Amino acid sequence: MSDKRQRARVQGSWAKQVPKHSGPSTGAVPNNHQPKSGSQPPAAWGCGPQKTTTTFEFNQPTKAVRDVPPEKVIELAGDYEISHGPSGVSRLQLLPGFLPPEEADWMFSKLLAELPWSQKTNFRQGEAYDEPRLTCWYGELPYTYAQSTMAANTQWHPLLLTLRETLKQVSGCSFNSLLCNLYRDGHDSIGWHSDDEASLGSKPTIASMSLGDTRVFSLRKQPPPEENGDYTYVERIRVPLSHGTLLLMSGATQDDWQHQVAKEYHDRGPRINLTFRTIYPEPEGHRAGTKLRFTAKDP
């Protein structure tokens, strides 16, 4: 029987619906207990109390309400101290238009056509997966990350040697190696990580040159230990990297932040990213590709 008919039958007429009380929005729960009365017959008999009382109990929220910090955007040329912490100052330097457009166009098409691009297979918990991008490596030493090694390659493309020299003037760093990434379209990506392998040394400076379509370079702060690896409330920064832009990461950036280039679900053209680094021989007695924080703790 419908609620309306039930009320009509009980009350002998179309009864007014008991108004719903609106309680406080947080921490309040309805308490619809009927008053306990031994002497009153139940309402269903048509002669008991007709009114249903809705009361609310206020339960103090057990956890403080926390706001997710709004994502910051860095898109103008400048030096940015993105955090100060026990590991030191984390720094970004952004130089959009570092290469003039014609030079960037020319370099992009040469490198796209002439570098030895290939797809690397990495490992996670023993499972192999193909990287969702193409890469190539230059340096006198091999480079191991994600449990897979890129062999030493001293056959530098002449254009890359010229660029390396220019970057030395700007950054003061003598980079001895280079990881090149080719994102073929918006579906290619690189997941959250830090460039913090022991072979890159402590507080590395990394010079990252972008050519081709713009992609968003995102950073998220490492959560404090009490968050148990939960990144929900950490600070986030997005940096759009356009054709010809140079980004320098230095100080504690690799200790205190992670970065990624996420997949995009609208059309993106190809993009080349060149990350110049300084690489050192793997510390003695350590497995290649070990993260610095694990190496530092070991005896």
Ligand X SMILES: O=C(O)CCC(=O)C(=O)O
Question: Smallest gap, in angstroms, from Cβ of residue 212 to ligand X?
Answer: 10
The two tokens of residue 89 are 């100052």
Exactly one of 92, 107, 190, 209 binds ligand X (CB under 6 A); that residue is 190
| Smallest distance from ligand X to CB 136, Å | 12
Q: Which two tokens stand for residue 285?
A: 């007695």
Residue 259 touching ligand X (CB under 6 A): yes
∠ at Cα 23 (19, 27), nearest 5°? 150
* Residue 157 CB, nearest approach to ligand X (Å): 17
Q: Compute CA distances 29 → 55, 56, 232, 252, whole Å.
A: 8, 5, 27, 47
Give me the least distance between CB of 225 and ligand X, in Å please. 25
Q: Could you say whether residue 268 binds ligand X (CB under 6 A)?
A: no
DSSP classification of residue 53: P
How far CA 284 is from CA of 198, 287, 299, in Å, comes to 11, 9, 11
Judged by CB, which is closer to ligand X: 7, or 215? Answer: 215
Q: In whole angstroms, how close is the CB of 215 to ligand X at the nearest point? A: 7
Site for ligand X in 110-139 (CB under 6 A): none
Q: How far is the C-alpha of 241 from the C-alpha of 245, rounded, in Å?
A: 6
104 by DSSP, 3-state: which?
helix
Choosing from 83, 90, 177, 181, the residue that interacts with ligand X (CB under 6 A) is 181
Is 228:256 a contact under the CB 8 Å cutoff?
A: no
Q: How far is the CB of 24 from ligand X (least distance, A)?
A: 47
Q: How far is CA 140 from the centre of its chain?
A: 31
Q: Is residue 195 a contact point for ligand X (CB under 6 A)?
A: yes
Asked if 261 touches ligand X (CB under 6 A), the answer is: yes
Identify residues 214-243 at the interface with ligand X (CB under 6 A). Answer: 217, 241
Q: For strands 72-73 and 236-241, give the pairing.
A: parallel
**Residues of the shown chain interacting with ligand X in the complex, contacts defined by CB under 6 A:** 179, 181, 190, 195, 208, 217, 241, 259, 261, 273, 275
